[in-house]
Structure 1
Amino acid sequence: MDLTYRRYADADADDLVAFLTGDTWPFHGPAVVDPEQARRWAAEGRFDNAETRSFWIDGGGEALGLVRLMDLGDSTPVFDLRIRSRYRGQGVGGHALAWLTGHLFTDLPRIRRIEGTTRQDNAAMRRTFRRCGYVKEAHHREGWPSADGTVHDAVGYAILRRDWAAGTVTAPAWDDEHTTEG
């Protein structure tokens, strides 16, 4: 399936509300988005403002997902990636992650790294991060509370511009504590 990326516009607010409320998002804040909340988010500019750009992931004549790029004024932006449930497990997420990585590093030269966070139990996203050259950099124990009161571990990944450009992966120095002790 050929995928394209189309910039979200304020005129897309109704489509955004339908997208967010028409599926479940088990690895995001609320798994079910309330329509009024989605309308508020759109009205507040949460998906398009000076620091945020969003893109529809289009394929086969419909929106398969949404990429939201945030903290674009910083040298280390973050992102939110949502794929409709019927398209999960079909490579859409990997394509979108590779696209957003190339888009950010190509269009915004001041960016030196890109970060993403997911729940520890989101095995599909964690595999996608690794396949796209992202490296696990953080593990936050009980760092992701769910609406039902369950608290999950959060896992952070990042890619460096230099690794992306060279096609390499640089692991963090996990064994560095001896260098910081007196």
Structure 2
Amino acid sequence: MELTYRRFDASKASEADALIAFLTADTWPFHGAAVVDADQVRSRLADGRFDGDDTRTFWITDGDDVLGLVRLMDLGDGTPVFDLRIRTRYRGQGVGGHALAWLTAYLFAEFPGIRRIEGTTRQDNTAMRRTFRRCGYVKEAHYRDGWPAADGSAVHDAVGYAILRRDWLTGTATLPTWDDEPA
């Protein structure tokens, strides 16, 4: 695979149609809703949630094939977050790790004021948790019962990871001080 990242162009109707098709044609088990509704995507497009001053979206491609999507959010903040979606048939093939490394380098290069990048996943998303660690991200938070299932059937723990610019530059990992509770 030779992965490339192409910026989503919200001004083109064909891009909006492609985004709707992409998000509604697959399932996203470790996202807020496993199944995405087309009207919801249209509404979010109209609200600028995929492209704007504070948000950028990129297609993950291999030639003409779209493998996934990266949405970068809170770009005006010193700590952006992201949404990473890989099509089912490409999961487990290293696409997520490549995309996470790419988005990390992109954000730190493109936005000099960014100090850190954060990402959150469900505790049971072991593939993404391994990907975070392989890409230099450090676990910083564990939110008990922090991720309700969209259908209300369950509540999952959420786990937060981040990478600091200085750690990315040096290839190190600064661990949080976990044992700091006051007496």
> Given the two structures, how large is their TM-score scaled by the length of structure 2?
0.96
What is the correspondence of 1:14-163 to structure 2 with a 5 Å cutoff?
A: 14-149=17-152, 150-163=154-167
Unmatched runs of 5 consecutive residues or more in structure 2: none
1:3 aligns with 2:6: no
Distance 1:42 1:83 in 2: 20
Alignment coverage as a number of residue pairs: 179
State the shift of 1:60 in Å. 3.5
The match for 1:166 among 166, 170, 174 is: 170
Q: Which amino acid letter does the alignment assign opposite residue 173 of structure 2? A: V
State the shift of 1:36 in Å. 1.0
Instruction: Find the residue that maps to 2:43 and give its secondary structure.
Output: helix
Deviations 1:18-46 (A, max 9, x none): 00000000000110001111111112211
Give the 4+ runs in structure 1 shifted more than 2 A: none
Instruction: Find the residue that maps to 2:102 and give its secondary structure.
Output: helix
Deviations 1:56-80 (A, max 9, x none): 0011321100000000000000000
Q: Which amino acid letter does the alignment assign opposite residue 180 of structure 2? A: D
Distance 1:16 1:123 in 2: 27
Distance 1:58 1:45 in 2: 22
State the shift of 1:148 in Å. 2.3
Distance 2:21 2:43 in 1: 13
Unmatched runs of 5 consecutive residues or more in structure 1: none
Instruction: Find the residue that maps to 1:114 and give its secondary structure.
Output: strand
Distance 1:5 1:128 in 2: 19
Instruction: Find the residue that maps to 2:166 and give its secondary structure.
Output: helix
Distance 2:31 2:55 in 1: 18
State the shift of 1:166 in Å. 0.1
Root mean square deviation, CA, Å: 0.7
Distance 1:171 1:128 in 2: 17
> Given the two structures, how large is their TM-score scaled by the length of structure 1?
0.97
| 44-53 or 131-140: bigger deviation | 44-53
State the shift of 1:119 in Å. 0.2
